[in-house]
Amino acid sequence: MKVAIQNNDKPVSVEVANKLRHLLENADIEINQINPDILITIGGDGTLLSGFHRYAHQLDAIRFIGVHTGRLGFYTDWREYELESLVESLKNDDGESVSYPLLDVTVIYEGDRAENNFLALNESTVQKVGGTLVSDVYIDDVHFERFRGDGICVSTPTGSTGYSKSVGGAVLHPRIEALQMSEIASINNRVYRTLSSPLVIAKDEEIIIKAINSDELLLTMDHITSRESDVKEVHLRIADESIRFARYRHLNFWDRVSESFIGEKN
């Protein structure tokens, strides 16, 4: 087994990464940053997102493990004081994994420029570069609505606890293979009308956004921002690829949601 390590630059994460390196060497587990079987990220959910984008072209070969150096995260099942038990699990690894859907974002441009593809683990947002976005929203070939507002967020099930939740999206169990579209500050009055609530599409459906008032858009894919010109359409659907996590133990999803967002119950 070959293991890569990616950590954020907080002193505690650097220290944990050094300790993990030492434990892996003692256990005769190869550290290989180029072609790993497993990527262990040390930091937070943000660090796992960075690790995902760094190795996104090797998803078939890599399983992910997140170690959180703060409180437990949504992609990070391990805490920094559990490294010994994590290395023990790696030694007994039988290849088991759990996989979650990713978001495929395809940008189609005006003219004959080739389309561009992006992957997101949490979500993608579509916004105008400055000002109100006016866009037609299609679900497959159905013209669903004309949107006016700050932008549109489309999230994966695992991304539903991230930005999507902050713009009013529901929390989805990660085993649900579906995408959720939420509005970012839509304009709704007697003249302009949108659904005004998040919606969840089936796994074989696609959301298509055609901006009316600009061909220059700001797209985000997780923490990455891309300014796109000459955009004709943006297509968002569940990707053919998925992300696989090495599953050495099971943490209850709703327990994690409750702990993260509600805390102590009285």
Residue 42 vs 208, nearer CB to ligand NAP: 42
Q: Per rule CB under 6 A, is residue 44 in the interface with ligand NAP?
A: yes
The one segment of 88-96, 157-165, 172-180, 193-201 that binds ligand NAP by CB under 6 A: 157-165
Q: Per rule CB under 6 A, is residue 222 in the interface with ligand NAP?
A: yes
Q: Per rule CB under 6 A, is residue 37 in the interface with ligand NAP?
A: no
Residue 24 vs 153, nearer CB to ligand NAP: 153
CB 200 within 8 A of CB 177: no
Establish whether 45 is a catalytic residue: yes
Q: Per rule CB under 6 A, is residue 49 in the interface with ligand NAP?
A: yes
The one segment of 26-34, 43-51, 96-104, 185-193 that binds ligand NAP by CB under 6 A: 43-51
The residue behind tokens 């579209």 is 181
Q: Per rule CB under 6 A, is residue 223 in the interface with ligand NAP?
A: yes
Following DSSP, what letter does each residue of the chain receive, concatenated?
A: -EEEEEE-SSHHHHHHHHHHHHHHHHTTPEE-SSS-SEEEEEE-HHHHHHHHHHTGGGTTT-EEEEEESSS--SS--EEGGGHHHHHHHHHT----EEEEEEEEEEEEESTTPPPEEEEESSEEEEEESSS-EEEEEEETTEEEEEEEEEEEEEE-TGGGGTHHHHTTPPP--TTS--EEEEEEEE--SSS-----S-EEE-TT--EEEEESS-S-EEEEETTEEEEE-SEEEEEEEEEEEEEEEE-SS---HHHHHHHHHT-S--
Residue 29 vs 162, nearer CB to ligand NAP: 162
Q: Per rule CB under 6 A, is residue 183 in the interface with ligand NAP?
A: no
Q: Per rule CB under 6 A, is residue 169 in the interface with ligand NAP?
A: no
Q: Which of 37, 45, 150, 222 is catalytic?
A: 45
Residue selected from 13, 69, 122, 182 as contacting ligand NAP according to rule CB under 6 A: 122
Q: Per rule CB under 6 A, is residue 46 in the interface with ligand NAP?
A: yes
By the criterion CB under 6 A, which residues form the site for ligand NAP? 44-46, 49, 73-74, 122-123, 158-159, 161-163, 166, 222-223
Supply the residues annotated as catalytic: 45
